[in-house]
A and B are shown apart, each in its own frame.
Chain A
Amino acid sequence: MLTSKEISRYERHIQLPEIGIKGQELIKKASVLVIGAGGLGCSALQYLTAMGVGVIGIVDFDKISETNLQRQVLYNANEIGKYKVEVAVQKLSRQNPAIKFITYCTQLTNKNAIEIIKNYDIIVDGTDNFATRYIINDACWIANKPLVFGAIHKFEGQLTVFNYKKDNNTIPLNYRDMFPTSPAVAEVPNCSDLGVIGVLPGIIGTLQATEVLKIITGIGTVLAGKLLFMNSLDMEFYTFEITPDVNRKNISIEEYLSYDYGQFCISESQNQINEISCKELKELLLNNRNTLQLIDIRDQEELPKVPVLEELLIPLVEVIERVSEFDSSKKIILICKSGIRSKLAIQMLQKKFGLRNLFSLEGGITEWLKN
């Protein structure tokens, strides 16, 4: 039941015969989990909050950084360093005090995902890496939850709804119908290093909130079985029909729990990745330069170039095939923009070749240039 205050607040929804009081009550009863409080999450969350979704869960383990502010519109410069979930809930509660927010300041893994998502009606994927996207996809499949998928790349966005069954005749789809396995770590540049226009996650996140509204209220046609691509440069929208992959093998809960999802799931091995701070590297460069090999694993054209750190350039996608160029007699420092790809590279090299003596420059070129 809506209160008189709610009837007034949501009047513009209620005026629509397609939604009405009944639809608004469904929205109030609904619970939605937004995974990732970054660009997509900030945008989707604000509309889900405004429209009166009863319970909203937010998963994010990250803290606000300065480079987030160009597109993650819930955050301000004076909140840098604070946990995103905390600041997001503060702002959103002010926006609509009637909403119940539940926060999970944790990295989603295949050990905790089902436990979290089972409490919600609809899941919104606003994450920024394939490993977590596959975990969410599989967890939603197993827990039978509709998944509103959004993703972005530079000037382009993707949107679809997985695991949605409108009636008994529809075969629900999941991410593995298109891409049965995750791209190899080597294929995945860290998206935060690629650049993205600030409004793009705003657009795609808003479209995700739109799909959530349609699923809750049953209006319109949910974007299930179709993949939308949008290109903001020519402002064209393309919709492609997807069909179930006849070869798809549905993942069992046992396979899901033991599956190696990549960078975030093998956290034990991540802990073993050696890092070197900019300060330590500076000292070594001054006193023991000949004991070091510096390998820049960014793409050829990536800027800025830092002369003192230039020695060998091996883009991440080539590190496996060019491993013979690694000088194992030296301390090998891998460098990227933010220190994430360099850790991935080490993880790959350790796994494939058992290489030791590899160090990731903590914070990457960005951190180096701060000092």
Chain B
Amino acid sequence: MKIEVIVFGMIADIIGKQKIEVNNCSDTTSLQIKLTHDYPKLCQQKFVMAVYKKVITGNTNLNNGDVVAILPPFAGG
């Protein structure tokens, strides 16, 4: 099962690219755990997740091919 992850801002800085593919995550919590395991610096970042362009507030099930975006706050102006 593949999930496409699009990341922005500081999250992209940490991961090193804007899009990655993550395997075997059945929900957004397990995706978050996997990402913070692979990229420990993510623990220090605030972000929200969006599944199919909708920001989610709780754990959400994921299916093969789903697109998840990770959205950090920006401060710059």
Contact = CB atoms under 8 A, between A and B. Distances in A.
Given A127-B77, A194-B76, A231-B8, A246 B57 contact: yes
B36 interface: no
Interface residues of A, number: 45
B55 A191 contact: no
Contacts of B73: 130, 151, 158, 175, 178-179, 183
Given A186-B44, A240-B69, A153 B55 contact: no
Contacts of B69: 229, 238, 240
A187 B46 contact: yes
A128 B55 contact: no
Interface in A167-211: 175, 178-179, 183, 186-188, 191, 194, 196, 201
Contacts of B77: 36, 38-41, 125-128, 150-152, 191, 201
A317 interface: yes
A25 interface: no
Contacts of A39: 76-77
A90 to B, nearest CB: 21
Question: Chain B: interface secondary structure?
Answer: mixed
A242 B55 contact: yes
- Residue among B13, B57, B73 with the highest chain A CB neighbour number at 10 A: B73
A245 B55 CA distance: 10
A96 B9 CA distance: 36
Contacts of A183: 45-46, 73
A151 B50 CA distance: 19
A119 interface: no
Given A151-B77, A156-B9, A229-B69, 4 more contacts: A128-B76, A133-B75, A234-B18, A238-B6
